[in-house]
Amino acid sequence: MPNFELEDEYQDLVDTVRAFADEVIAPVSARHDEEHSFPYEIVSQMGEMGLFGLPFPEEYGGMGGDYFALALALEEIARVDQSVAITLEAGVSLGAMPVYRFGTDEQKEKWLPALAAGEKLAGFGLTESEAGSDAGGTRTKAELVDGEWVINGTKEFITNSGTDITQHVTVTAVTGTSEREDGSVKKEISTIVVPAGTPGFTAEPAYSKVGWNASDTHPLTLKDVRVPEGNLLGVRGRGYANFLSILDEGRVAIAALATGAAQGCVEESVRYAKERHQFGRNIGSYQAIQFKIARMQARAHTARLAYYKAASKMLAGKPFKSEAAIAKMVAGEAAMDNARDATQVFGGYGFMNEFRVSRHYRDSKILEVGEGTTEVQLMLIARELGL
């Protein structure tokens, strides 16, 4: 029989991060959300704890752990603040992980230590106005001129791209074309590291978002940006394929984050149901509220099992694309459904931004969209079934 109990090392991590989330992150979450301010002090402390280095080897400044450890940390943080959780998730899975997976030894030594220490952040520039799930829509171009890549284009919705500690953004760009047998044009898409501060590379004003207000998200403009030829990350022409593998891993992390959000809604609802009195009794004594919260707990539990299964297959080196898609879809929907039900439990107070469930309500919708929509997950699952 499979054992779903966490090993002591993992449990110690969970306990440590949970205490940090409750005692350090939660007290300042509402302020950062209201001010739309980036929580630099929290990021610094997470760096000192080694959270940004969890899945990386010690030789690059990491903690020598694995991706499941990162997922567990994300779940605990997302209970109280999704903005902080997505900063960690994107910083590791989208920022540092491509360098670790596909970088040369020289690139790893140059860029990974500061990212693993949480001293710097990185982002991944894939999405454009007409490209994201459809790589063929990529319009950003990079031309090799005199030993330098000259890049022109725009990117949308890029996390961790405009902070004071952003180290670089890895961008996808068309580096060539070829003709298919049917006469159509096939784009060669590669990934290139663009350091923050490079002339012509501009993080435009931050978006006004529905949620995740304390995370950093910008559109990017690249105008005649020049970087060394050696900033090509991975094999030329394999940029999008490599990123798809990064996304599979990232979906496990996003599923963990969404599970944390779903669980946070349960915990807040249980607390409130015991405190709030109507008609002479606390509302938790009414079966209607009990059943609503019970269903919320069932969703969080199911989401956790889903991402645990995906993570176990990933760490075992087995194919996990379908399991990652299932986990991402199930957990994202659980977070959104639980946020809606928690808001209902809180009544009018659930509509007030000072309460955590209202932030979960605003924050959770993106979990059904970002890093692959629910529809994309369904498509991936269907493909794995041979349809």
For residue 165, give both structure tokens: 């500690």
Query: Per the residue annotation, which of 89, 323, 333, 371 is the catalytic one?
Result: 371
Asked if 139 and 177 touch (Cβ cutoff 8 Å), the reply is: no
Give the phi and the psi of residue 111 in degrees, each rounded to 5: -110, -30
Q: Alpha helices of 66-199 — where are they, by DSSP H?
A: 67-78, 82-89, 97-102, 105-116
∠ Cα 77 80 83 (to 5°): 70
Q: Which of 79, 90, 103, 190 is nearest to 140 (CA)?
A: 190
Q: Mention every residue, 6+ apart, whose C-beta is less than 8 A from residue 118.
A: 43, 44, 46, 47, 48, 51, 52, 53, 91
Of the CA atoms within 13 Å of residue 95, those in its CB half-sphere come to 34
C-beta atoms surrounding 114 within 10 Å: 18
Active site residue 188: no
- For residue 128, the 8-state DSSP code is B
Give the phi and the psi of residue 262 in degrees, each rounded to 5: -60, -40
Catalytic residues: 371
